[in-house]
Chain A
Amino acid sequence: MPPPGTSISTPDPTPMATPMHVLRGIAVSPGIAIGPIVVLDTRGIRLPPRNITAEAVERELQRLDEGLEVAGREAAEAEREARTRLGPQYADILAAHARMIGDITLRADARTRVEQEQVSAEHAIIEVLEAHATRMERLNDSYLAARAADVRDIEARILGQLIGQRPKSFQDELPAPALVLAQDLSPSEAAGLDPNRVLGFATEAGGPASHTAIVAAALEIPAVVGLGKFLDIARQCRMAVIDGDEGLVILDPDLPTQARYRAAAAERSARFRVLSQQANLPAVTLDSTQVHLWGNIEFTAEIDACVNLGAEGVGLFRTEFLFLNAKPPPSEDQQFQAYAAVIRALRGRPIVIRTLDLGADKLGPYRVSAYIESNPCLGLRSLRLSLRDPGLFRPQLRAILRASTLGDVRILFPLVSTLAELREARAIVRDVAAELVAEGQAVRENLPVGIMVEVPAAALMADHLAKEVDFFSIGTNDLIQYTLAVDRTNETVAELYSAADPSVLRLIAMVVEAARVHGIEVTVCGKMGGEPLYTMLLLGLGLRQLSMPPHQLPEVRRVIRGVRIETARAVAAEALRLETAQAVTALLESALRQALPDTPDTPEPAASAMR
């Protein structure tokens, strides 16, 4: 039975009627869109005649220069708008467009054509740019084919200026909000997408790094790209589903499929509404146990998301990005600027800054020795590297200590394996602080210092470590990897990698207990902390601080607000008694379903039609 009020006309619902088409592409922006479809065709432009008279040459040259200049300004304007609306990644593309319009060879070549062949400015531009675009396409390289689209995009922009007709947005012609199906969207079309008019889109071309993919994700429009040829079929269809989670496009879906997706979409939007309304609700359990939620970030730009989604502060600020692409290593002042920017943006909310957590292999240009490690995971990395190389460690500590006066800063050492390492690191912090004071620099007294517990040795020694630190942060990713001796990126053994493994749970329990006995705080900042499946378990083990990527905050908050701490404790106690990761996972899944029956399952999208 179709739900009442379904007004979209659909084919006869008998199974053998018009078969729906299920197409698989690349999911680039999650969500589900259902609605009428619009197939975009490339638009034509009306052009003036090609040839001009000798007397008209001067005027054409002037038109050419003006056209280029105005189009360049327009592209620069589009860049500025994109920078605030879509972020730097996309804005950089439009910046490159502006530079193409201002390209010295474009202007010179086009002028030559006008002067020597007496062609109009429009045709001069077309001929020069088409030659570029065709050359790129002939090289038969997908990257260059995409650049040809950039060239055609600026071509349209310049021609629009010359002809005096603004390139019309396809969106202006949409009768109602619709799914847009196209061969591809030009970068400027993508930048102008309006989520109120375009419910979702699907393209034949494109990949996960395409312009359209970047924009769709930024605007949260469900999108699937890289579908291959399908527009000919689509033109005969009336409606479609775009499943941006699974990367599917279903043309003229049958009624059961529509119903399933409508239900999933309704549930999704209801969840989103509820969850975003809850961003400012306290993360407390049903029986009033307060949990503190934090964000893991790498860039200042992520702080807005943290704050909007209700994080108390930054539980893990990674500093690797400063070092990864820099040669020589960033100076103390460069680091100070970077830390100061994040701290200021937090306006007094706490931030935990982790010192460099990189392997020597990632620091090619300034590695300590030329020794090639056969086993970098077990080698000179992270805090070990920092302790070995004062030229790396001291400037970072100086920068953090100087920035610490600007807010609530805590310092975190990664990959601590022994007490000796911790003591050595703390001694360097004291030394650096004394040095700064001697120089007359302001330094915050008693900066809290914590360690990542991510080596099993540290978990086993947590009772001793707890006496000498201000807090623990459990890095579950490495803890699991080192406990189970498994590299999760190695697919032949990846199935052994599980946060639910009882060995891992026992270590976490030890760490939490040690922290409790010594009265210090303990946070989980690994991937496990942001996965709703583990929230009850972690609460039950005694954790009250979780740090995670900002977008995971709403779901985890939802679980916290839906459970009782005594239930969580019972679940954790039972998990600790189990023998295998599979048994623990099954327990957690069933506990989560019982506590929160509305936890979503991914809709099963027309599985039979696909295979």
Chain B
Amino acid sequence: MSHDTTVAHRHVQITNSLGLHLRPADKFVKLALRYRSEIRVHYNGNQFNGKSILDLITVAAECGTRLELEACGPDAVEAVDALSDLVSAQFYENENGDTIQSHPNTEPGR
């Protein structure tokens, strides 16, 4: 669609104790939807649509899992930056899955 298309990749590791469960997946999708790029999550040889929560929850990545994020579009680099920040901040939840702080950098391309 865009003539200014880039592709960005980033490896991330899930480090929150409950893994990529429902609420982190929701936060991920919410953030992914802010970008125009297509977002894909690669795991175990499968790819998942990073803007679809129905797709993303079936990743069921446990704590310690490594995933590859891929974005394709005009803001691909910003998108993978922001999403990998979210993952490494453990989706802002504690070990019981409670949100411990609101997401501080909701602006794309912080």
Query: Hey, which bits of chain A sit against chain B, CB under 8 A?
Result: 88-89, 92-93, 95-96, 99-100, 103-106, 129, 132, 135-136, 139, 141, 143-144, 147, 150-151, 209, 321-322, 324-327, 334
Contact = CB atoms under 8 A, between A and B. Distances in A.
A334 B93 contact: no
Contacts of A103: 52-54
21 contacts: A88-B98, A89-B99, A93-B23, A96-B23, A99-B26, A99-B53, A100-B53, A103-B53, A104-B49, A104-B51, A105-B52, A132-B58, A136-B58, A139-B58, A143-B60, A144-B58, A147-B58, A150-B22, A325-B93, A325-B100, A326-B89
Interface string B43-65: 00000010111110110100000
A93 B98 CA distance: 11
Q: Which of B49, B90, B101 has the most CB of A within 10 A?
A: B101
Contacts of B97: 89, 209
Interface string B9-26: 000000010110111011
Contacts of A105: 49, 52, 54-55
Given A92-B23, A96-B25, A132 B100 contact: no
Interface of B: 16, 18-19, 21-23, 25-26, 29-30, 49, 51-55, 57-58, 60, 88-90, 92-94, 96-101, 104
Given A104-B51, A132-B58, A141-B60, 10 more contacts: A89-B98, A95-B26, A96-B26, A99-B30, A100-B54, A104-B49, A143-B21, A209-B96, A325-B94, A325-B100
A325 B89 CA distance: 6
A326 B101 contact: yes
A140 to B, nearest CB: 11
A139 B46 CA distance: 14
Contacts of A135: 58
Contacts of A92: 23, 26, 99
B92 A325 contact: yes
B58 A327 contact: no
A95 B24 CA distance: 11
A132 B23 CA distance: 18
Contacts of A104: 49, 51-52
A120 to B, nearest CB: 21
Q: Please name the 5 residue pairs, one residue from A and one from B, whose CB atoms are nearest each other, closest first.
A: A96-B26, A105-B52, A92-B23, A325-B90, A96-B22
A105 B99 CA distance: 27
Nearest to B93: A325
Contact of B94 (A93, A143, A324): A324
A93 B104 CA distance: 20
A143 B25 CA distance: 13
Contact of A334 (B25, B54, B99, B104): B104
B21 to A, nearest CB: 7
B97 to A, nearest CB: 7
A95 B94 CA distance: 18
A132 B92 CA distance: 27
Interface hub of B58, B88, B89 (most chain A Cβ within 10 A): B58
B52 A322 contact: no
Contacts of A132: 54, 58
Determine which residue in A100, A135, A327 has the highest number of CB atoms from chain B within 10 A of its CB, and name it. A100
A129 B26 CA distance: 17
A100 B100 CA distance: 23
B54 A324 contact: no
A147 B93 contact: no
Contacts of B54: 100, 103, 105-106, 129, 132, 151
A324 B52 CA distance: 29
B29 A99 contact: yes
A514 B58 CA distance: 60
A470 B30 CA distance: 48
Contacts of B49: 104-105
A245 B75 CA distance: 53
A147 B22 contact: yes
A59 B79 CA distance: 37
B52 A321 contact: no
Contacts of B57: 136, 144, 147, 150
| Residue from A132, A150, A325 having most chain B Cβ neighbours under 10 A | A325
Nearest to A102: B53
Contact of B101 (A136, A139, A322): A322
Nearest to B23: A92
Contacts of B22: 93, 96, 147, 150
A96 B98 CA distance: 14
